[in-house]
């Protein structure tokens, strides 16, 4: 594929393998990168991910990785930077989602961004004072980094002034057993003028833990990045390794992966719909959906040996199979769950109090979703047809979804009601897919053995229940993991939440927040 802007073409090479279509290329310099980013934006593309890599141990400098998404697939563009003073142009003026990714990359790898029209926001993102500003944990010579004093610093939140304006700080520690995040509301009365988030409290050094590990070690770690997206991360990691090593998983393994991914999708949508009912004072909805979710997870445990199906998707295929009785049990459960969810959807749709809370609350529109590079449920609830499992113009989904004919769920309203409606629709579509997979599982081996390929790299992209999960993998000269970057769709969706609450009232924030249900663990790494 050749991408052209002005008079300068960039030649992209198609990544091998059966995964989502990915083309890779190298930018000549920072200006080259900027021109390409502008071109992608003009073609209504997205910034899918951005991360950095220290390659000085190989006698090189640093490398910036940028993944852009167009209708045809993903474009992986690298930019090599010098070992001394590694700097690249600020992309946040073109893609606002770049800002937090760039700040995290600077905190972890120590490569800086400058210029551009992104506002010059250079505040720390993942570094909360637990390590010095001149120490970067993902540099090859950083060492373990123990013994640093914990010296938290003030965060320069944006101030909103004016008569009657005041601030409400919430978190990072919250009531209940939830992950930590700080939310700074600027309000007049109960009306929200601005929300600013500070995340990173869950940072646990995941990317550091990957370095030097075997492919099998990486598979176990990838499945534990975010417990609610175990299958999505495990599959994205496996797809990246398979692309790097030129491996194609067997047909039965691909179908089993899809079956597990759809079961993960249903489980999370059931839980979210119950929580949305609870936040709108419909305790009945909460109890019923959580009962259904528990039944669903128990069947996971019985069939796969783990409620979240950890360690079942592995590079080369899958680690477990399903026999005819188990497949029959899946079909029967889909029938039973489908009937109950249909009744519950009718109750939700006809409950005046619930719909009064849902409708016109937390609204974002398609133009903003595009500008923020949003994916997943939140994007489809604005009318965008962005689903990596579904056919669209110029795009053929990876197997087995290419043959399953996924019907993406969309709703143009962009509010809490729309995000709930998309979840209902996706449950029914996933139940249909699960039944189709269960009755049509092909006969083949489950997993193929393969040897790591030295100095190889690959990118895996999977449509998780929350949105697009992406994993980039680089292997060193010995075939061990040199760099692994997992990217959660919450990176793009957290800023969208800041916009969604504007002009609503503070008491509606828990409901709006739950309608997105974003990940801290998958974001903070």
Domain segments of the chain as ranges: 2-142
- The encoded tokens of residue 252 equal 């039965």
- The encoded tokens of residue 114 equal 């400058």
- The encoded tokens of residue 511 equal 């409901």
Tell me what pLDDT residue 451 has: 96
Tell me what pLDDT residue 6 has: 43
Contact 229, 486 (CB under 8 A): no
Name the DSSP class of 507.
G
Q: Which CATH architecture has domain 2-142?
A: 2-Layer Sandwich (3.30)
Tell me what pLDDT residue 62 has: 97
Tell me what pLDDT residue 55 has: 96
Length of the chain: 525
Tell me what pLDDT residue 7 has: 45
Instruction: Estimate the crossing angle of helix 490-500 against helix 509-516, to 10 degrees.
Output: 150
Tell me what pLDDT residue 147 has: 82
Tell me what pLDDT residue 116 has: 55
- Compute the distance between CA of residue 378 and CA of residue 416 in angstroms, rounded to an integer: 9
Contact 425, 432 (CB under 8 A): no
Stretches in the chain below the pLDDT threshold 50: 5-7, 118
167-219, pLDDT tens digit by residue?
A: 999 988 887 778 899 999 999 999 999 999 999 998 999 999 999 999 999 99
Tell me what pLDDT residue 420 has: 98
Find the distance separating the first CA and the last CA of the chain, reported in whole Å.
Answer: 33
Of the candidates 250, 356, 367, 355, which has an alpha carbon nearest to the alpha carbon of residue 313?
250
- Compute the distance between CA of residue 520 and CA of residue 178 in angstroms, rounded to an integer: 9
> Helix, strand, coil shares of the chain as percentages rounded to 5?
40, 20, 40
* 17 three-class SS: coil
Name the DSSP class of 491.
H
Q: What ranges make up the beta strands (E) of 147-244?
A: 165-170, 182-188, 191-198
Contact 29, 89 (CB under 8 A): no
CA distances from 307 to 297, 304, 311, 429 (A): 5, 7, 11, 21
CA 78 from chain centre, in angstroms, equals 20
Q: What predicted TM-score, i.e. pTM, was given to this entire model?
A: 0.96
Report H helices in 177-282.
Answer: 206-210, 215-222, 230-245, 251-279
Sequence-distant (≥ 6) Cβ neighbours of residue 111 within 8 angstroms: 52, 62, 64, 81, 86, 87, 88, 105
Q: Hey, what long-range contacts does 65-71 have (CB within 8 A, 24 or more apart)?
A: 65/472, 65/485, 66/33, 66/37, 66/91, 67/459, 67/470, 67/472, 67/487, 68/36, 68/37, 68/40, 69/45, 69/373, 69/468, 70/40, 70/43, 70/45, 71/392, 71/393, 71/394, 71/395
């Amino acid at each position: 594929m050749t991408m052209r802007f002005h008079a300068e073409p960039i030649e992209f090479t198609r990544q091998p393998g059966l995964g989502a279509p990915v083309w890779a290329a190298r930018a000549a310099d920072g200006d080259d990168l900027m021109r390409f980013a502008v071109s992608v934006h003009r073609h209504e593309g997205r910034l899918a991910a951005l991360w950095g890599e220290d390659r000085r141990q190989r006698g090189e400098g640093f490398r910036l990785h940028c993944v852009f998404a167009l209708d045809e697939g993903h474009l992986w563009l690298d930019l090599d930077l010098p070992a001394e003073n590694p700097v690249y142009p600020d992309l946040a003026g073109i893609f606002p989602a770049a800002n937090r990714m760039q700040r995290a990359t600077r905190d972890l790898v120590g490569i800086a961004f400058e210029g551009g029209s992104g506002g010059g926001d250079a505040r720390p993102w993942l570094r909360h004072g637990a390590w010095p500003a001149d120490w970067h944990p993902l540099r090859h010579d950083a060492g373990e980094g123990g013994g640093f004093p914990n010296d938290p610093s003030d965060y320069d939140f944006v101030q909103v002034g004016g008569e009657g304006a005041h601030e409400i700080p919430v978190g990072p520690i919250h009531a209940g057993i939830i992950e930590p995040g700080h939310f700074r509301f600027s309000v007049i009365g109960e009306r929200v003028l601005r929300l600013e988030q500070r995340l990173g409290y869950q940072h646990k050094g995941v990317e550091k833990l990957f370095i030097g590990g075997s492919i099998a070690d990486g598979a176990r770690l990838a499945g534990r990045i975010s417990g609610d997206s175990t299958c999505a991360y495990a599959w994205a990691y496996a797809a990246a390794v398979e692309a790097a090593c030129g491996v194609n998983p067997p047909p039965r393994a691909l179908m089993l992966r899809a079956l597990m991914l759809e079961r993960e999708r249903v489980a999370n949508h059931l839980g979210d719909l119950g929580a949305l009912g609870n936040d709108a004072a419909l305790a009945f909805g909460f109890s019923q959906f959580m009962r259904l979710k528990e039944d669903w997870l128990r069947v996971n445990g019985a069939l796969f040996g783990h409620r979240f199906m950890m360690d079942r998707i592995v590079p080369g295929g899958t680690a477990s199979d399903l026999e005819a009785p188990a497949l029959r049990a899946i079909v029967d459960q889909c029938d039973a769950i489908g009937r109950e969810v249909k009744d519950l959807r009718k109750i939700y749709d006809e409950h005046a109090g619930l719909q009064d809370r849902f409708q016109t609350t937390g609204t974002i529109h398609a133009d903003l979703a595009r500008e923020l590079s949003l994916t997943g449920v939140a994007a489809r609830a604005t009318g965008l047809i962005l689903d990596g499992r579904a056919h669209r113009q110029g795009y053929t989904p990876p197997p087995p979804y290419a043959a399953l004919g996924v019907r993406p769920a969309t709703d143009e309203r962009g509010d809490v009601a729309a995000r709930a409606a998309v979840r209902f629709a996706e449950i029914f579509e996933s139940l249909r897919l699960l039944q189709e997979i269960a009755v049509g599982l092909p006969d083949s081996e489950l997993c193929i053995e393969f040897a790591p390929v030295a100095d190889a790299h690959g990118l895996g992209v999977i449509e998780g229940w929350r949105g697009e999960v992406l994993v980039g993998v680089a292997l060193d000269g010995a075939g061990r993991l040199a760099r692994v970057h997992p990217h959660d769709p919450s990176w793009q969706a957290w800023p969208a939440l800041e916009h969604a609450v504007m002009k609503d009232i503070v008491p509606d924030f828990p409901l709006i927040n739950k309608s997105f249900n974003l990940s801290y663990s998958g974001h903070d790494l």
